Each structure stands twice: as C-alpha cells, then as structure tokens.
Structure 1
Amino acid sequence: MNSKLFSTFFLTGLLLAACGDNKELTTTQQSSISRPNIILFVADDHGTDALGSYGNNVIKTPHLDQLATEGVRFNNAYCTTASCAASRSVILTGLFGHATGSYGHVHDYHHFSTYDKVKSLPVLLEKEGYATARIGKYHVAPESVYHFQEELKANPRNTVEMAEECKDVLASEKPFFLYFCTDDPHRAASTNPGQWDAPNSFGNKVDGYAGVETITYDPEEVIVPDFLPDTKESREEIAQYYQSVSRIDQGFGRLMQMLKESGKADNTIVIYISDNGMAFPGAKTTLYEPGMKLPCIIKDPFSKLKNTTTDAMISWVDLTPTILDMAKVEIKENSFHGRSFKDVLNVKEPEGWDQIYASHTFHEITMYYPMRVVRNKNYKLIRNIAWRLEYPFASDLWAASTWQEVHRNQKEFYGKRKVQDYLFHPEFELFDLEKDPDEILNLANDPDYKEVVDEMIKKMKAFQIQTRDPWLITWDHDDSLQGTGVNL
C-alpha cells in the first residue's frame, strides 16, 4: 500500500459499510468472459528458509523449485500478521484483521471471528460463476463469510492424499478456485511430552504416510537461520521441520501432475504461499523478518515473466484484489486495504512497490501483544503497543526444545539477540534492513534517525486512521475510531 492509495481509503463512512456492500464490486457475469482457474496453495508456518528456490541447498523441494522456474518468485512478500488464523482472514478478505474483528485464533476458547458483513474471496468468486472448493486447514470463521461451495476431506498432513481428493475439482466445467491448505509444517503434539529436549515431530510419523516418500534429514547438515541458536536441539527440530516441508512438496507435485493431466494447466494460475514464518521462537508470532517475510511463487500462464524473481514489496492484504483482478473481476479502488499486483508479473522492475504495513494483535487469546509495522524501502518501524509487558509466547513455541534449551540453561543469547531483548521490547524499533538484515541494531532513539522515525510514525498513524484501527486510541488517547456502542 502506498501513500497515493491511502488517500482513497475509507474517507467517509464505516469500514463495514464500505467492504460489506456488494456494490463495491462491479460484477461482469457475462458468459462470454473466459476466466482462468486459480489454485491458492497455502502452507502452514513455512518460511523462506526452507525452500531450494530461496537458496537452501540442503532441503529437497524439487516440485516447488520447478514452479519457480515456470513463474515469478517474490523476494519481498509479507504476511500482515504472523499468526495462522489472523493471517488467513487477511488472505481471504484483502482487509487487515484489526478492521474485521479477526484479531487472533478462531477455534476453541479464543473465538475470534470476522464481522458477518465482510465479503470474502470465495464468496465473491462464486458470484462471478466460479466453482469454489477448499481442502485442509480452514481456521477462519464464520462459515457464512468464508463460504466455499465444496469442502473436500483428506488428512491435512498427507498432501498427496489431499491432491488425489481434488480430481473432480480439476475436472470442473466451470472455472474453479481451489483453496489448498496443508497442516504441514506446523508443529504437532510433542514427540515425547515427558522429555523437554525431544524435538517436535512437525507431523512426521515413524511409519510415514500412504503414497508419500519419507525424506529425512541429518541434523548436522541442516541450515540454522541466524536468529536461532545453533544447538543440538535447534538442529534436531529443523531436521523434523524439513521433513514436513518435503511432504508438502510431494503433494504439490502430485497436484501439478494431475492439473497437467486434466489439460487445464495452460489456463490455471498457481500461487504458493505460507500463512506465516517457521514455528520457532523469533519467527512465528513476531513481526521480525523471519516471522513475516514469506515464500510467494506464482505461475501465471498469461504473464510475460517466467523463471524470474522480483523485489516488489507485496503483502497478503494484496492477495484478494490480485486474484479478483486475475479472474477478470472489476473492483473499485476502495473495496480493499490491499491492491492488485497482477501487473507486477509482467514488469521486471515495477515501480511503486516499496512499502507495506503489518498489524498483529493476538495469537492465542492469552498471547496479547499488539504491534503495528510500516516498512518503507529499507527502513522498518515496529511499534510495540504493549511494550511494558513481557513478550508472550505461543504455547507450542514455549514448549519447543529449541527455546527450552536456552531458557533452562539461562543463556544470555537466543541466536544473535539477547534473551532479555527478546523478552522485553522497547516501544519503537527502527531497523535499516539493508545494513542490518538481522534487526539487531535499534535506531529508534538515535538522534541521527529522528526524521526517519517521525516520518514513519506519521505513515503508521495515517495507516491506522484509514484502515479504522481501534488501537489508534493508544496514541494520545485518540478515541475518534472507538464507535458508538451501537450495533451496526
């Protein structure tokens, strides 16, 4: 999102009046329009650290790497919140979670849910004549907002089985939208709950999965990202994580084989992304780069660019308007917080794609830690709204042997960051990512960067106003967006 686009957002009225009205979309339902099929493949907690096409020469991901040779790989693709449910709400609405009530986890006692007037991507595509189907992880609510015509059933840890279940969708006479969501490589139940230093299984089983080759990794050979401690525990967990990613790759390969056999590959756009970064402390649930900078590989048979990369900065809030644009649905500019990056797939060095925003509020309901982020070119400003609190852990990340090894031994450092700095954040963190990609040197209080901080804060406040962020009140008790207390 850039400043020009900001000026059009929600200048009058409430968000729901804007995004909930069907008139925001100019529908074009003529049967003469030829629309592409679209597959949106979403992994669960998969970072750029574990893909061959993103530079990892250890992990085996040949099918996803093949997709990169056939399409465009994004070097600067970001989720808006590094938490599963909240991120998926953004992916499927094109709206920030703080504006739709999608503050955190949906299931069980968390119970966060999207406002019922929001129109999601599958609902909008169905109105345009698409056959919509989903398989695997859902993790959004209510169903009336995120309605798919068909729900397919399969083991979400067995992507080969999942692919096989999609056969009828690929044979659809209508253009189809397939939302394919794995449980891999999310953490699973502990490998040995009675042993704190046992690595998590990441869904891996000793006897494997039907139709899937079990690919294992030597912990001594895995690549430990700089933000993690290089310990026995980290390496063992990363090896399990890699194994889970390789299972994704096999299922993705089977799905692409089936698509080719259906004869529809030349009319099908394939998008591979993840909801947030790898499920290790320091990545998932944080808005540091390992948590929010994610894989995004797109094969669009109609785009000009193939086997290339782009540095365009995009965000998951851009996905819904982009997919609607690809589906030839005309949309008004202020229907979404994001914007279509369809044309980026046709331009080697696109202009105007150098700024994104992020918004995290909850993971689990017990993990309240609101953060807002603006990234402008090489600078990134994080505002930790609850900075006086100790940084909370997602329950599975606290139990991770990678963290427990550091915690139990009272070590000073967790990766390159001091444990004290990880647990207690300042209100503002400013990083120059070109000079400091690990986000260690906080420039927020450096007088040489005061103008940068002031300008970034100005952008952040404008973003909150124009996306109707209730947490605007945390700036000088500004209650202008707090509402009337009346249900609308």
Structure 2
Amino acid sequence: MVEQADSRATSFKNILLLIADDLGKNLGCYGAEVTTPNIDKFATEGVLFSHAFTSTASCSNSRSVIYTGLHTHQSGQYGLAGKAHHFVIFDHVKTSPAFFGEQGYLTGLIGKVHVGPDYSYPWHVRNESATRDVAWVADQAGEFFDKAKAAEQPFFLTVGYIDPHRDMTRSGFGNSEIFDARIKDIPYEPSSIKVPAYINNLDESRFEFSEYYSSISRLDQGIGLILESLKARGLEDDTLVVFLSDNGPPFLNSKTTLYDPGVRLPFIVRNPKAAVKGIENPNMVSYVDIFPTFLEWTGKTQHAPTILAGQSIFPILEKSELVPESEWKHRVFGSHTFHEVTNYWPTRFLRTRRYKYHRNVAWRLDFPFSADLYGSLTWDAIRHSQPRGKEGDILVGQRKLSDYIFRPPEELYDLDEDPLELVNLAVDEKHKERLLEFRGLLEKWQDETLDPWLYRDGVSKRFIQHHLDAGMIVPDRFDLDLENIRIR
C-alpha cells in the first residue's frame, strides 16, 4: 500500500506560490549587492525573468491580479482590502484558490492574506499571520505538505511573506523582532549602501535601505527553509514553484506608482519537468499570466474561467532569447486606481520593450502619498533637508518633486535612453505619431477589458455607452473643457 500511495503522489501536479511583500529586484541573482544565496540558488534551478511586470503597484491589488488573472479594474479590487479601505473583488470572479479547490486540490495560505472577500478565497488551510519569523512559516508549510501527502491530494499552497514590507515604525523593517534560532541576523552598513538611482542618496535613505536589505536577507533564509522542507518530503519533482513580489520597494518613485521600479519585479519559476534550467528569460510577462500558467501546469485548462486577461507562459518558459512577436506579446498593460481609500489616482500604462506610455485619468489631482511612504525618514529628509537641484527644485531621486506630485494627462518615455522615466516625450512633436499609436493601443485594451476609467469628455465611456448607442455624440477628448464645451 505504501508503494502504491507513493506512486500516485508522483503523478500530482502541485503548486507552491511564494509572494514577497514590497520586494523589488533587490536580489543577488538580479545583480543587487544583497545577500540572498537561497533565492540565487533557486534561480539556477529554474528560470529568472528579466522583464516581469505586475499590473499594479499596490499590495492587495497586485495579489488579486495574481489570484484572478484579471486586471484590477476587471476584478473590482481597486485598492487595499484591509482596515477602512475595504476593497474586494466582485462576487462573480473566480479565484485560483476557489478553482483549484473545486478541482480536488488541497489549498492553503500561510502568512499575509490581504484580499477579499473571504468567501471568494476558500483556502482549506488558512493560517493567516503577521509574523516575520520565516522559520515558523516554513514549519507551517511542512505541516501542510504532510497533510497533502496523507490525504493523497495534489496541493496549491500560497505563502504570503511579510518581509520586506515596512513595519509600523518610521524606518523599520521588523529587524528588531525575536526570531527562531535558525534565522540569522544579516546586518548591512548604511555607509556602504548603494541607493538606487530612483531615490535620493541621503543618510536617511541609506539607513532605511540597510534595514530593508536585512529584511530581504531574512526572507531569503525563509525561502531556503521552505524549499528544503518541500524536498525532504519528496515533493520537489512534482511541484511548480513560483517566487515573486507583489510590488516594488516602499520608497517614492516606486511603490504606488506605475514607474518601472514599482511594477518591474523579480519573477522566478522552477518547473521540475523542464529540460532547460538556470537561464535568464528576456521575454515580457505579466502577473495576469500566472493563473493561466497554473491551469496549463495542472492540465485543468478545459475547466478554466471563461474570461482571463493573460496567457500561460509555458510556451516561452524555457527560452533564453526573445521569441518573435507573432508567438508572444512584446508589451504589457496595467491599471492602478487606489492604494488606500483616500489615495484615489486612476492611471493606466502600456509598456513595450523600449517605451512606456502612461494615461493619467485624474491628472488634475495631486498624486497622493501612501501612509508608509509619507512617514518614512527618506521623505522627511527630502522635504526638509535635501539640497536642491540646479534650478532650485526639490528633487525626488532625479525627478522634480513638482513633477512627482503634479503629473500631466499623458507620459511617454524612451526607456533605452531614459530608464528613470524623466523626459516626457508626450509633449514632443517628433513623437506625436508614437504617442497616438500607444494611446490607441491603450484605449483598445481599456475597451476590451471594460475599463470604467476609459474617459470621454470627463465621463466614463462605459457608463454612457447606452447613450452612445442611441446616437449621442461626445467630443473625442479625455477631459471636459469648460472653455470649449460644444462639439466642433
């Protein structure tokens, strides 16, 4: 009987999804000077994507994209789920935990949940916790693996790490907490920190990044422990493992923005059946592709939800070169509407390999600060003690503070020449043709995904569609122009 059970177990197609919180590409395997030997080793066993993008740069919103395969404006998860924010997905949306539970999988969540409503995420094992003790997390995962083996069930386990999110202090990342003896403190000297170019190189930012990196190194130890636990139970060869982050680092010009530091993220996939491993994949993938990928891995595509925004990455998973655009997309889209409930600033983006187009729907509003970024020592130093730029402007990274807070209706950047997205080509007549092309592509995507924030004359096109169908004509412009109300 034991041999029969083991034989049946080897035919299962398990899923282990590991989600870091507010982690950018700050890993050794992505070239950062951060101690992450376990994740680096994991990358040598799988595929590291250089051009992976979340659809949105906010925790709950991004997780909903991962779980539903839909953009936030499709699922209804417009902002954060917790506390007074209370954003959740629509009742009709099928999540991956619900789907795989119906397909006979043992489903589980350990750590951070941060999505809702609860009935749309019916994990069989829901071990929600705010602990940063990654050894405890690995132990809980081991118990889950044992439960799946005993039940002779395939499993889908999500681990939502708290690291390296900021804690509730002004500059901390949980490093003063007490942890299991298996977890070692890995300190970083602030004076040796190389601050990323998108943020200011200040004493305060170097200190905060030193704390941030310690949190990342603790996360790395947790990843090592959980992968060891998987292997020790003989499940490694039957489990697709995906490691990623929900959004970029908790600093200005990153988290809550759709600039690349906020949405271009670590994404590593280990397929135990792959013939090719230890490669860097340059093809563009989006988090809307994750649910379809799980469907293909498990062979459940025939039962899939009818509407998903992405596609499985399996056709290009083992590619270390760019595939032709006829075989795979060379652009991604994204949408952001809220972070906290008071952070309303709807914006959409189109990203190709070279260019980035932003459509800022509510551009007349100030760009809002999230509470954790506003309280940070880095922002405090920027606003009070930072030397000014050549023209006397306060700078956020290399961007004028005024340009960070007051943004135009459209932004267009050449990322080969301008990776920090500073020089807005949308106002350059030489780039008008490209601007119109990207505007059209984005609006087509908004139409196809029923985006309520596709505006005409200051009103949602979706919500006046019945009037348009009845013959109403509105100006072909984004915003209401009070000086030119009539249609010419």
* Short-chain TM bin: 0.7 to 0.9
**Partner Cα separation in structure 2 for residue 74 and residue 266 of structure 1:** 21
Structure 2: any 5+ residue segments left out of the alignment?
A: 1-7, 389-393, 467-488
Give the corresponding residue for 2:485: none
Q: Helix, strand or coil: the match of 1:134?
A: strand
Distance 1:148 1:408, change over 3 A: same
Among 289, 303, 324, the alignment partner of 1:318 is 289
Among 361, 366, 371, the alignment partner of 2:337 is 361
Among 440, 459, 469, the alignment partner of 2:422 is 440
Give the corresponding residue for 1:6: none
CA offset digits 1:359-413 (Å, max 9, x no partner): 0000001111111001123111001111111111001101111111011236421
**Partner Cα separation in structure 2 for residue 118 and residue 157 of structure 1:** 31
Instruction: Please state if 1:426 is matched with 2:408.
Output: yes
Instruction: Please state if 1:180 is matched with 2:159.
Output: yes
**For residue 358 of structure 2, what is the amino acid of its counterpart?**
I
Q: Helix, strand or coil: the match of 1:346?
A: coil
Instruction: Please state if 1:142 is matched with 2:120.
Output: no
Give the corresponding residue for 1:54: 30
| 1:316 shift after superposition | 0.8
| 1:287 shift after superposition | 0.3
**Partner Cα separation in structure 2 for residue 78 and residue 156 of structure 1:** 27
Among 446, 450, 453, the alignment partner of 2:435 is 453
Give the corresponding residue for 2:49: 74
**Partner Cα separation in structure 2 for residue 478 and residue 81 of structure 1:** 21
CA offset digits 1:59-84 (Å, max 9, x no partner): 11000000110010000101111000
Give the corresponding residue for 1:189: 168
CA contact (8 A) 1:154 1:161 kept: no
Instruction: Describe how 1:214-229 pairs up with structure 2 within 5 A.
Output: 214-229=185-200
Identify which range, 356-365 or 445-454, moves more after superposition: 445-454
| 1:357 shift after superposition | 0.2
| 1:471 shift after superposition | 0.7
Q: Helix, strand or coil: the match of 1:372?
A: strand
CA contact (8 A) 1:387 1:425 kept: yes
**For residue 298 of structure 1, what is the amino acid of its counterpart?**
V
**For residue 219 of structure 1, what is the amino acid of its counterpart?**
P
Give the corresponding residue for 1:415: 397
Identify which range, 330-339 or 255-264, moves more after superposition: 330-339
Give the corresponding residue for 1:12: none
**For residue 302 of structure 1, what is the amino acid of its counterpart?**
K
From the CA coordinates, give the structure whose radius of gyration is larger: 2
Distance 1:478 1:278, change over 3 A: closer
Q: Helix, strand or coil: the match of 1:74?
A: strand
**Partner Cα separation in structure 2 for residue 474 and residue 109 of structure 1:** 31
Structure 1: any 5+ residue segments left out of the alignment?
A: 1-30, 192-199
**For residue 407 of structure 1, what is the amino acid of its counterpart?**
R
Give the corresponding residue for 1:127: 102
Q: Helix, strand or coil: the match of 1:290?
A: helix
Q: Helix, strand or coil: the match of 1:407?
A: helix
The alignment covers a number of residue pairs equal to: 444
CA contact (8 A) 2:22 2:248 kept: yes
CA contact (8 A) 1:468 1:481 kept: no
CA contact (8 A) 1:99 1:467 kept: yes
Q: Helix, strand or coil: the match of 2:311?
A: coil
CA contact (8 A) 1:155 1:162 kept: no
Instruction: Please state if 1:168 is matched with 2:140.
Output: no
TM-score (norm 2): 0.88
**Partner Cα separation in structure 2 for residue 32 and residue 240 of structure 1:** 42
CA contact (8 A) 1:385 1:474 kept: no
Distance 1:164 1:417, change over 3 A: same
| 1:152 shift after superposition | 2.4
Q: Which runs of 4+ in 1 moved over 6 A?
A: none
Q: Helix, strand or coil: the match of 1:320?
A: helix
Instruction: Quote the RMSD (CA, aligned, Å).
Output: 1.9
CA offset digits 1:173-197 (Å, max 9, x no partner): 2111110011111111115xxxxxx
**Partner Cα separation in structure 2 for residue 479 and residue 250 of structure 1:** 49
| 1:210 shift after superposition | 4.4
**For residue 467 of structure 1, what is the amino acid of its counterpart?**
T
Instruction: Describe how 1:80-159 pairs up with structure 2 within 5 A.
Output: 80-152=55-127, 155-159=130-134
TM-score (norm 1): 0.88
Among 203, 209, 215, the alignment partner of 1:244 is 215
**Partner Cα separation in structure 1 for residue 95 and residue 379 of structure 2:** 37
Distance 1:208 1:235, change over 3 A: farther
Give the corresponding residue for 2:346: 370
Instruction: Please state if 1:36 is matched with 2:13.
Output: yes
**Partner Cα separation in structure 2 for residue 262 and residue 206 of structure 1:** 30
Distance 1:440 1:358, change over 3 A: same
Give the corresponding residue for 1:342: 314
Give the corresponding residue for 2:469: none
Instruction: Describe how 1:225-304 pairs up with structure 2 within 5 A.
Output: 225-304=196-275
Give aligned-pair identity as a percent.
39
| 1:156 shift after superposition | 3.0
Q: Helix, strand or coil: the match of 1:34?
A: coil
